[in-house]
Amino acid sequence: MTSTTPLPPASQSNTDPSLRTSWAQERADLDRTQRPRRDRLMHEPPPASPPGTLVIDDTRRPKIVVIDYDADVFSEKEVESVDECIPYLTDDRPSITWVDVRGLGHKATFERLGEIFRVHPLALEDMVNVPQRPKAEVYGGEHVLIISRMAQVDERCELRTEQLAILVGKSFVLTVQEEADWDVMGAVRERIRVGRSAVRQRGADYLAYSLLDAVVDGFFPVLERLGERIEDLEIEVMDAKRSMSKPIHDMKRDLLTLRRAIWPQRDLVNALLREDNPIISRDTRVYLRDTYDHAVQLMDMVETYRELSSGLMDLHLSGMSNRMNEIMKVLTIISTIFLPVTAIAGIYGMNFHHDSSPYNMPELDWYYGYPLVWCLMLASVIGLLAYYRRKGWLGKNGDDG
């Protein structure tokens, strides 16, 4: 992992032991049925819609930030209108322009973006209508569209994944983020602000690589947090006196979500490494190989954690079964101990009068009959306890067995 890996805000809490220990309680107390459910298809067009149909909420406007730089000059500006980006895109400017659009909203803004950057209608549709499967596509030899996903663990210990679209041209990069409240590209912005960074010395394809590398590396702190959660779950499963099925199921679902995000991103990086890509230079492909290695490493980590989670569920069910067997064992021993006592009490509770026959319960006339019956009951209890202990069903031998 490179030193430029940006950490999401939640991942910076890995060193705080109090947050780690409170994870289980927070996750257990937060009922998913009370959380606002987000419609994953809210930006999908209706079935059989024409190609290039955009489904955008017009009630909010996106935040647009323009970063223009070369080896010597740097400027960063938040613009109100997309048309303010046009002066940065003229052919006579040797600089690289990064237009960062944060949030999906206001259809006219994105339609104008498509006109200014000459974006293919299908590419613009993929950038706006979420969620899309991570992929990389070349349009007309002029643009490369990269659809990726960012991941973060928020303050409620809930996994979030959001789409990031990167459109790469010869002298510009256009990024469209699904939401405006967070991203993993802050470190890349800081590197651009530094005058002698490698990003300032190279072209737009290297900027696109840096953004994609930041997105891929952003999964490492998320998986580190989930790995800590698995360690906590192992301790809880061993000592749990309640059902742990729901926390383990939540963990397996989060890992499945990460797998669905990381697996295709490995394929898209591999697609960018092809020699027939006219936008990505040969020098940038060398760096992309490192990003591909990170994606493979992430997949290995996800698969390992998924196996551990499955093992936790098996361990939990086995522990629950063992505890149930111990309970049934205790109840069985108690019932068998009192079985002869119950039999004796039942026998001497029968109403057979001795006056009718000398064979009808002659013990009723014995002078020590009542103490003898008590002694018989106690002897049966003590004898059974001694027998169970010798067999290893009670005491330390029983616990070891």
Residue 235, pLDDT score: 82
| Fold of the CATH domain 9-36+44-319 | Beta Polymerase; domain 2 (3.30.460)
- Phi, psi of 307, rounded to the nearest 5 degrees: -65, -40
For tokens 């009718």, the residue is: 356
Residue 34, pLDDT score: 42
Amino acid at 19: L
* pLDDT profile of the chain (401 residues), mean per 10: 40 42 46 43 72 81 92 90 88 86 90 92 90 89 90 83 93 90 86 86 93 94 90 81 80 91 92 84 92 94 91 80 82 86 82 76 79 88 86 64 41
Cα 255 from Cα 242, distance rounded (Å): 23
Query: Which residues lie below 8 Å from residue 28, measured CB to CB, with a gap of 6+?
Result: 246, 247
Query: Which residues lie below 8 Å from residue 161, measured CB to CB, with a gap of 6+?
Result: 149, 150, 151, 152, 257, 258, 261
Residue 188, pLDDT score: 93
Contact (CB, 8 A) for 64 and 100 = yes
Residue 311, pLDDT score: 85
φ/ψ region of 140 (left if φ > 0, alpha if ψ in -120 to 50, else beta) reads left
Q: How is the chain split into domains, by residue range? A: 9-36+44-319, 321-400
Amino acid at 131: P
Residue 36, pLDDT score: 41
Residue 325, pLDDT score: 83
Cβ atoms < 10 Å from Cβ of 130: 21
Query: Which residues lie below 8 Å from residue 317, measured CB to CB, with a gap of 6+?
Result: none
CATH of 321-400, one of 3.30.70.270, 1.20.58.340, 1.10.150.530, 3.30.420.40: 1.20.58.340
CA distances from residue 317 to 156, 173, 243, 244 in whole angstroms, order as listed: 27, 51, 9, 9
What pTM, to 2 d.p., does this model score? 0.73
